[in-house]
Structure 1
């Protein structure tokens, strides 16, 4: 997820600094998890259910990585 605020292509430099990406991942996680529970929790072995579940895990995982690196940078003073 690229944004206009981050001009660098290096993933390592962007992670934990891109507020726009973090907000996008938060909104996507808030939308996708209830959608999966409402539509596919009763049939977890269908292709659509598994695909949406992978998207949910990817959004939440990347958001968790952003927040982890952001907190690490704040604690160590490497902003």
Structure 2
């Protein structure tokens, strides 16, 4: 499952540098996570680092991008190939 940053985001800038897949960027009003790049840190860490550092706990599972652990691992392998 890719993650999603809700509108409760305070734009504190701590999540973006923690993402090993460069999936987080500033959107029109607050940070956003690109579902195509988010692996929930599978392959890199035991838990999503953006959620670990978020002071307002505004990062949730994206209900529109539900993926299995196997799919997340395959995405990680595709993103890190080459």
Asked if these proteins are the same fold (TM beyond 0.5), I'd say no
Larger Rg belongs to? 1
TM-score of the aligned structures, taking structure 1 as reference length: 0.27
TM-score, with normalisation over the residues of structure 2?
0.26
Structure with a larger share of its residues in strand = 2
